[in-house]
Amino acid sequence: MARYRIIVEYDGSPFHGWQRQENYDTVQQRLEEAISPMVPGRTVMHGAGRTDAGVHAFGQAAHFDVSGDFECFRIQECMNAHLVEAPITVLSVEKVADDFDARFGAVERSYLYRILNRRPKPSLEINRAWHVVQALDADRMHRAAQHLVGNHDFSTFRAANCIAKSPLKTLNSISVRRDGDLVLLEVAARSFLYHQVRNIVGSLCFVGAGRWSEEDFVEIFLAKDRKRAGPTAPACGLYFSWVRY
């Protein structure tokens, strides 16, 4: 058996997330089908992050095992040829050690959230960013976000149906900046709670819009109560950026 790692980008809009599910079109299923012409039977793709429905990726990683030894370029060409009608692209293929694990071997994952902050409706950014009409102060959002860096109880930003054993997570970094009409939030950590990033974005938007002060944000974060936080930002603005091993 040989183990390979792939790096993939995709538009998550038409998919029901990463993970294979019966009766739903998913990224994992499409990738497994794309390798099947080379390898008979089902080849399981193990992803670094199980993105939700509608979430995109610039640099999702996955590993898989196959019988035999194939050229990496040949695998990439085969998969992309069978993904030509899907908004998924295999950016690279690399042969890795047998003990490499795309999910459990990751030491840091990064996500980007894109907010289109203007009054006119989007056309090019449909399903690519969250459209927020009210003016946002990215600097205020950035200052408030710095209180999240480090190891904390993130119950305030944890989805009700999160199955993680503990609400404790360590955020390595988080930043918010403006680029024209876009407000961009980047966050990095080893792992995240279910909807953690999208819930953080929803609350930071209250800060950016002047609805909450920085002190209000910190108080609500420390309350460890999801009901006191802001809304869950939509999936369309979230991108899996990269993973580090």
pTM: 0.95
- Domain assignments of the chain as residue spans, ordered by start: 2-96, 108-244
In this prediction, residue 39 has a pLDDT band, given cuts at 50, 70 and 90, of: confident
Question: Could you say which architecture CATH assigns to the domain 108-244?
Answer: 2-Layer Sandwich (3.30)
- The CA distance from 182 to 131, in Å, is 9
132 pLDDT more than 90: yes
- The CA distance from 243 to 110, in Å, is 6
- The CA distance from 169 to 149, in Å, is 10
- Residues known to be catalytic: 52
| pLDDT tens by residue, 189-224 | 999 999 999 999 999 999 999 999 999 999 999 999
In this prediction, residue 68 has a pLDDT band, given cuts at 50, 70 and 90, of: confident
CATH 3.30.70.580 describes domain 2-96 = yes
| pLDDT tens by residue, 42-56 | 899 999 999 999 999
- The CA distance from 163 to 203, in Å, is 22
Beta strands in the chain (DSSP E): 2-10, 46-47, 56-66, 88-96, 108-117, 130-132, 150-153, 168-179, 182-189, 238-244
| pLDDT tens by residue, 161-174 | 999 999 999 999 99
- The CA distance from 102 to 16, in Å, is 21
- Do 2-96 and 108-244 have matching folds? yes
pLDDT at residue 95 in the model: 97
What are the CA-CA distances from residue 167 to residues 4, 186, 192, 193, 239 (Å)? 33, 21, 9, 7, 22
- Mean pLDDT over the full length of the chain: 97
Expressed in angstroms, the distance from the first to the final Cα of the chain is 22
